[in-house]
Structure 1
Amino acid sequence: MTYDAASGADFSAFLAKGKDGRASLDLLVRGARCAGCLGKIERAVGELPGVESARLNLTSGKLSVGFAGPSGDPAAVIATLDKLGYPATPYDPGQAQIAHDREGRRLILALAVAGFGAMNTMMFAVPLWAGLFGQELGPATKQVMMWLSGAVGAPCAIYAGMPFFQSAWRSLKGGRANMDVPISIGVILTLVVSFTETFLNGRDAYFDAAVSLLFLLLIGRWLDHQLRAKARSAAGDLLAMQAPAAAVLDGRGHEHRRPLSEVQPGDIVLVRPGERIPVDGRIEMGASELDNALLTGETAPVAVAAGQVCRAGALNLSGVLRLQALARSEDSALAAIARLVEAGAQSKSRYVRLADKAAAVYVPVVHTVAALTFAGGWALGLGPREALIRAVAVLIITCPCALGLAVPAVQITASARLFRKGVLVKSGAALERLAEVDHVVFDKTGVLTEGRPRLIDGDPDTLALAAPLARASSHPLARALAEEAGDGPLADEVTEHAGMGVEGLIGGRRARLGRAAFVGADSREASETELWFGFEGEAAVRFRFSDQLRRDAALAVAALKARGLTVEVLSGDLAAPVWSAAERAGIETWRAGLTPQEKAAAVDALAAQGRKVLMVGDGLNDAAALAKAHAAMAPGTALEASQNAADLVFSAEGLMAVAQAYDVALTARRRAMENFGFAALYNAVAAPAAMLGFVNPFVAALAMSGSSLAVTLNALRMKSRP
């Protein structure tokens, strides 16, 4: 459903208030496909009175409008978008997905109709072609074949051409011309000329050319849609990590479950073991250990006690906590990261793809050439009918079918090649951006390293003794110890001491597993993550753990450096393990202890220096940096939000997938440029031939189809490269 701003409807209910008191509006915009659409929408909306900012995300279709004061005029924004030819509705993620799926079904149905029309129109066109070889049909039979060809081809062309016709109309209505304008004009004029020739008993009709042209163009449009379909909203995934409700204690200490949106600063919130912290808060009572890996990248759980601040999204591991809420859910650290991710995604939308750059030159040139052909032919003595046929031939033979397939065909082929190597490409522009990078940033935990602690020392007999306690604990290090020991019995009478460790009976003897002080040991070393184990009254033993480097991390780093790329590590982990991992991987530049905001700021700083950054990360603390980087990759084990913020996801255990993806991206860019070069050469030869009357619309359609086949075959050459 669309909203008519002229109807006097009140849209103020869709305004949201920020913490600064200013109003904002989120709209779902339909029809925006390229950087030109984005720029036009943002400029027009940004110039409205009272509008402070306007940012459009092409992938999701979400337009975020910020007003300068506590109120705004949503109706004026919607009316402006409608005048530009981009209908808008209040943003709803569910409706956005429904609209995207509807567009996909519409394209595949149009493609099917065009394919049906092309095949069946040929049944009547082939007998007409026989006249080219001296087997002329009788006049009556020929006209019947032409009418039958039109009866099948014209309806199919009109239906299959609707995506192009509507896009062209919206573009012209907004005072601009996109690539769909010459396509629409060419198809419509071809049908008009064909019906005119059929009615006047002329020599040729070109219904088959029109529907075949649309079939080839729709292939490219559908391929592009399929690549876009893989991009989802990472910001929405981040916010989905928050608990839907929180346990709030009233003045009498009674527990009430409230929706997260109703939790206010000052409320007392109860968080049990295994639950995530719902909002930023300060501990009033209790002690526990928090798993901050998703927020900071730290591999070791962090002990917390009364008076300390906990961030939303952290996982409570052991003790019951009572928190005083410090912020609403929309003002939490997790929500701040989501806003950074959304801003990064919107900035990526401004990237101008190769096809858009080519279209900016192509469209005005083709219009000019076709108009000059018609005007010049008429002025030089040709009749209006012959001049129009030549102009139509120019539009058909220079149709951007090859141009439209040049990039999607390469990207689909490259994506298929990478898929066989375990790399999923999620967006059409991802490979183009990846081919431009000159600096690679790695996260440590889960990227350079495997992301899970492993036991690096410990006597097998002692390990077997400690395993019953380890199996009874949910602590990450205890789980790693239990995994190393394998299946077996559990300890009896197990008690977990928040932030310290576990205690229980093993074979009737009391034992403890946890921190050195809890077990009664004295440890002055802090370079490795560790657990201590001991029976009551006996000396304790230490188990040390390490996050192992990926097996080919050093090889991948060396391969990237050999390709002229610089490499560094940005991590939220402690300095000692970051330095160790970077040194073993052969990376000289590293930074540790970074927050998600600091990582994103570091990527922004590199971009300000003119660097094109490839970010490789897996955690929640990497999501904002992934979204802001020029290109981004994430491993298949990464958090879903990080995978969605990334442009490519690799499922392989090793890091060589990063270097392989870069190589394929470079090859894809070369193939795309070759296709553009061929399309330019083809048009330079074909357009003059059509202008001089050497090519009629039928031959023009054949030549256009041949050019499309040529760029497709060139794209397929990627499969044969080693």
Structure 2
Amino acid sequence: MSSPKHSTDSGSSLMFSVDGLACAACAAAVETALRSTNGVDSATVSLTQGRATVRGADLANEHLVAVIKASGYDAQPLERRQTPAELRSALEQRQLKHEQQWKRRAFIGLSIWIPMMVLHWTTNAVAAQWIQFCLGTLVMFAVGTGFYVSAWSAARHRTTNMDTLISIGATTAYVYSVILFIIMLTGVESGQPMYFPEAAALFGVISFGHWLEARSTTRAGSAVRDLLELQPETAERQDADGTLVTLTSADVEPGDVLLIRPGTRVPVDGCVVEGTSDLDESVVTGESIPVSRTAGDPLIAGSMNTTGRLLMRAEVDGRNTTVSRIAELVTNAMASKTNIQRLADHVSSIFVPVVLAIAASTLVGWSIAAIVQGDAMTFQNGVIAMVTVLVISCPCALGLATPMAIMVGAAEGSRLGILIKSAGALEIAGKATTVVFDKTGTLTIGRPSVTSIEPVGPDMDEHTLLRLAAAVEAPSEHPLARAIVDAADERTIELPAVTDFEATTGQGVSGMVETHRIEIGRDPEATCQVLVDGALAGRITIADTLRPESPDAVRMLRDLDIDVHMLSGDRRSVVERVASEVGIEPGSAHAEQTPESKSAFLDAIPGRSIMVGDGINDAAALAMADVGISLGSGTNIAIETASIVIPGNQVTAVAHSIELARLTLRNIKQNLFFAFFYNTSMIPLAAFGLLGTWGPLIAAGAMGLSDVTVIGNALRLRLLVRKRLGRKNTV
């Protein structure tokens, strides 16, 4: 069989929080250091989350932390599986620390810069120059230290980052001004203005831009925090003597009996022991209608108990709940990278050296012009132009363009009941041209049920026929027998006792019901012939029931210009019937398929393909497709193999997944276009001095504005998704 179109990394996986990442080049430097470490198979660093994920064999936390710290960044190991409360706390602490750090730097820098500008505009007195020199020096050390440390760390590893450009630009303006200041102190009048305020403004304004960026990023991650709030921090355990003990959800163990009061959320996965209530599972499954749960029924962590009091038995511990797995899937998706982002990161890694070369060329060009013209002011304009080039070229927006859109897209997917395991899956789904459905359990419910009851003869009616048939089928474990008995239960038919029961494999069952001999024969088409005392009394047809939303799902995919196919191991007649009911063309419905033939079919599809399935026999096909989507009712192996999971079993969410992916992909392209347009248009303006003496300050403001614009466009994606999709999959 052909190799899968996508695969996963093998080996163990460790995660670390990384502090101090300023741009994509910083993240790339940490990735490079980790990937060059023995035993590491792959390493991914998320700029927006400040998190590194490392996969490989024989990995040690201490060694990898040392590698990250040697790259110039602080790091702490993270638990592989944290509770939502722990994840939420870590996320909030990091975001608060990030915001406060930039807010403090911006406040100091701008508070000092304002009086410097007042002096700069109002007087040229020596005392005023002394004050500007002292205040400018204070800003360089009090605010600029963080930039210098980051730039120096990058330089030690023979690389560059955004802070390299900012540090060189601000230092150039400062050192140039210091030289003029010293010349002034010697009594020589240079006739050239000093740029202490501009040097201070660079650090202050850029810090202010980073503060706005941090606030916007926090807002973009609100959906993730909402998700992490689904699991309550505490639970009530009922001990054997009836005593109630309050404990954290993380401390719940399998077998614990928990009290779930009305208006509270279920802390862990488990089952009802006592009581009846309606549960709102919409935040987990996407199903908007509350479901009734009673003794023996399953409970999903994060569900809201709306009416009755329940006792439940925990089946997992507090760190391995459905909510924990969903949170892990979403955060992993946010930390992963698309091919587009890898390209952008590569461009960012070489962008800074290119900008340094452009800045140097700018200074050389202006210097030559100054020599030719014999004008010292031209050289000064060249210094300002070089500083402006350095500052205005920072690739922050380029580094944020993709991860911000992925963060919003993955979070909005979780709101819609669509769990995306990786950014790559989102990117590929947005380019998909073909969707292939498995039949059983995907387009159909996956459970046989009675579809028609046909009595024969004037003395037989549907009620009597079903009553006699269900009575004789009751002892049987055959799936068709269970369907007949379930149909009788739904109609609240009381079944009489059966005697002389006999089951013949592959043929049917027989027995005595009251005074009648009942025989039921089954044919390959799942039609049961019911004989009473040797005479045909009627027929009961059984089929796998179609999901009510399946026809809508196929129609929605066609509206998206997606080719729709169905692969099934079932008989041709059944497959053709289901295809006709859902609207799939006869030539696109393929019957009697084996797992191998399903994989071969997907391998032969031109373009990008999506496989939707739920069973063990779909696992190979899910792996072979470019993107595998598993419904929540699927087996564990199907869910593990799939790259997108739909917990609520809503097959219409397949179309919504593609729409979400397309919207996210379009948003990424818009962000990248803006980032590239910003840099390619502003650099020439800066190099030729068209921004004037205010160039460095304009550059600092424009750089911050570009970051906020990219983040704002990513937030616009959230509004667009909610307007376009809303919660349409929760029918």
Give the counterpart of 2:111 among 127, 146, 170. Answer: 127
Give the counterpart of 2:567 among 563, 566, 570. Answer: 570
Give the counterpart of 2:99 among 111, 115, 124. Answer: 115
Residue identity in the other structure for 1:671: N
Give the counterpart of 1:186 among 165, 173, 186. Answer: 165
For residues 492 and 547 of structure 1, the distance between their equivalents in structure 2, rounded to whole angstroms, comes to 28
1:397 aligns with 2:392: yes
- The residue that corresponds to 2:422 in the other structure is 427
Please state whether the residue corresponding to 1:604 is helix, strand or coil: helix
Quick one: percent identity of the two aligned structures? 24
Give the counterpart of 1:26 among 3, 6, 11. Answer: 11
- The residue that corresponds to 1:714 in the other structure is 713
Residues 188 and 42 of structure 1: CA distance in aligned 2, closer, same or farther (over 3 Å) = closer
Please identify, of 426-435 and 103-112, the stretch whose mean Cα deviation from structure 2 is larger. Answer: 103-112
- The residue that corresponds to 1:526 in the other structure is 524
Please state whether the residue corresponding to 1:429 is helix, strand or coil: helix
- The residue that corresponds to 2:450 in the other structure is 455
Give the counterpart of 1:683 among 679, 683, 708. Answer: 679
For residues 394 and 113 of structure 1, the distance between their equivalents in structure 2, rounded to whole angstroms, comes to 30
Q: Is the 8 A contact 1:373 1:387 kept in 2?
A: no
Q: Is the 8 A contact 1:453 1:547 kept in 2?
A: yes
Cα deviation per residue 1:354-388 (whole Å; 9 max; x = unaligned)? Answer: 22223333432442122331354157439999978
Structure 1 position 704, deviation (Å): 1.3
Give the counterpart of 2:653 among 654, 657, 663. Answer: 657
Q: Is the 8 A contact 1:552 1:654 kept in 2?
A: yes
Q: Is the 8 A contact 2:106 2:207 kept in 1?
A: no
For residues 36 and 492 of structure 1, the distance between their equivalents in structure 2, rounded to whole angstroms, comes to 74
Structure 1 position 526, deviation (Å): 1.0
- The residue that corresponds to 2:553 in the other structure is 556
Residues 449 and 380 of structure 1: CA distance in aligned 2, closer, same or farther (over 3 Å) = same
Give the counterpart of 2:431 among 427, 436, 442. Answer: 436
Please state whether the residue corresponding to 2:345 is helix, strand or coil: helix
Cα deviation per residue 1:436-469 (whole Å; 9 max; x = unaligned)? Answer: 1122211111222222222102323333455567
Q: Is the 8 A contact 2:449 2:544 kept in 1?
A: yes
**Which sections of structure 1, spanning at least 5 residues, go unmatched?**
1-23, 66-73, 88-93, 231-348, 513-518
Cα deviation per residue 1:606-665 (whole Å; 9 max; x = unaligned)? Answer: 2xxx42112122222223322332223333333344344334334566544333433343
For residues 608 and 451 of structure 2, the distance between their equivalents in structure 1, rounded to whole angstroms, comes to 38
For residues 636 and 653 of structure 2, the distance between their equivalents in structure 1, rounded to whole angstroms, comes to 19
Q: Is the 8 A contact 1:573 1:592 kept in 2?
A: yes
Cα deviation per residue 1:184-241 (whole Å; 9 max; x = unaligned)? Answer: 42355468669869999933323334545655777899999999999xxxxxxxxxxx
Structure 1 position 679, deviation (Å): 1.8
Please state whether the residue corresponding to 1:714 is helix, strand or coil: helix
Residue identity in the other structure for 1:113: K
Q: Is the 8 A contact 1:190 1:210 kept in 2?
A: no
- The residue that corresponds to 2:360 in the other structure is 374
Please identify, of 709-718 and 195-204, the stretch whose mean Cα deviation from structure 2 is larger. Answer: 195-204
Q: Is the 8 A contact 2:619 2:637 kept in 1?
A: yes
- The residue that corresponds to 2:345 in the other structure is 359
Please state whether the residue corresponding to 1:440 is helix, strand or coil: strand
Q: Is the 8 A contact 1:573 1:593 kept in 2?
A: yes
**1:457-536 aligned within 5 A:** 457-458=452-453, 459-465=462-468, 467=470, 476-484=479-487, 485-486=489-490, 509=514, 520-523=519-522, 525-528=523-526
Residue identity in the other structure for 2:111: P
Residue identity in the other structure for 2:610: L
Residues 417 and 95 of structure 1: CA distance in aligned 2, closer, same or farther (over 3 Å) = closer
For residues 636 and 442 of structure 2, the distance between their equivalents in structure 1, rounded to whole angstroms, comes to 15
Residues 594 and 85 of structure 1: CA distance in aligned 2, closer, same or farther (over 3 Å) = farther
For residues 532 and 443 of structure 1, the distance between their equivalents in structure 2, rounded to whole angstroms, comes to 30
Residue identity in the other structure for 1:581: V
Cα deviation per residue 1:287-316 (whole Å; 9 max; x = unaligned)? Answer: xxxxxxxxxxxxxxxxxxxxxxxxxxxxxx
Q: What TM-score do the two structures reach when normalised by structure 1?
A: 0.58
- The residue that corresponds to 2:540 in the other structure is 543
For residues 373 and 100 of structure 1, the distance between their equivalents in structure 2, rounded to whole angstroms, comes to 47
For residues 690 and 573 of structure 1, the distance between their equivalents in structure 2, rounded to whole angstroms, comes to 68
Cα deviation per residue 1:164-198 (whole Å; 9 max; x = unaligned)? Answer: 998x68xx95x8x6xxx422423554686698699
Residues 189 and 133 of structure 1: CA distance in aligned 2, closer, same or farther (over 3 Å) = closer
**Which sections of structure 2, spanning at least 5 residues, go unmatched?**
1-8, 19-23, 46-51, 72-77, 123-127, 182-195, 227-334, 371-375, 454-461, 725-731
1:635 aligns with 2:631: yes
For residues 656 and 25 of structure 1, the distance between their equivalents in structure 2, rounded to whole angstroms, comes to 33
Residue identity in the other structure for 1:661: S
**1:234-313 aligned within 5 A:** none
Q: Is the 8 A contact 2:421 2:643 kept in 1?
A: yes
Cα deviation per residue 1:540-584 (whole Å; 9 max; x = unaligned)? Answer: 765322122233433433443344332211223333322321233
Residues 713 and 441 of structure 1: CA distance in aligned 2, closer, same or farther (over 3 Å) = same
For residues 103 and 368 of structure 1, the distance between their equivalents in structure 2, rounded to whole angstroms, comes to 39
1:673 aligns with 2:657: no
For residues 605 and 38 of structure 1, the distance between their equivalents in structure 2, rounded to whole angstroms, comes to 39
Q: Is the 8 A contact 1:441 1:570 kept in 2?
A: yes
Residues 497 and 680 of structure 1: CA distance in aligned 2, closer, same or farther (over 3 Å) = same
For residues 594 and 445 of structure 2, the distance between their equivalents in structure 1, rounded to whole angstroms, comes to 21
For residues 492 and 86 of structure 1, the distance between their equivalents in structure 2, rounded to whole angstroms, comes to 79
For residues 99 and 420 of structure 1, the distance between their equivalents in structure 2, rounded to whole angstroms, comes to 19
Please identify, of 377-386 and 360-369, the stretch whose mean Cα deviation from structure 2 is larger. Answer: 377-386
Q: How many equivalent residue pairs?
A: 540
Residue identity in the other structure for 1:554: P
**1:312-323 aligned within 5 A:** none
Q: Is the 8 A contact 2:507 2:521 kept in 1?
A: no
Q: Is the 8 A contact 1:554 1:584 kept in 2?
A: yes
Structure 1 position 157, deviation (Å): 6.0
- The residue that corresponds to 1:614 in the other structure is 610
For residues 148 and 488 of structure 1, the distance between their equivalents in structure 2, rounded to whole angstroms, comes to 88
Please state whether the residue corresponding to 1:527 is helix, strand or coil: coil
Residues 108 and 401 of structure 1: CA distance in aligned 2, closer, same or farther (over 3 Å) = farther
For residues 501 and 389 of structure 1, the distance between their equivalents in structure 2, rounded to whole angstroms, comes to 92
Structure 1 position 353, deviation (Å): 1.9
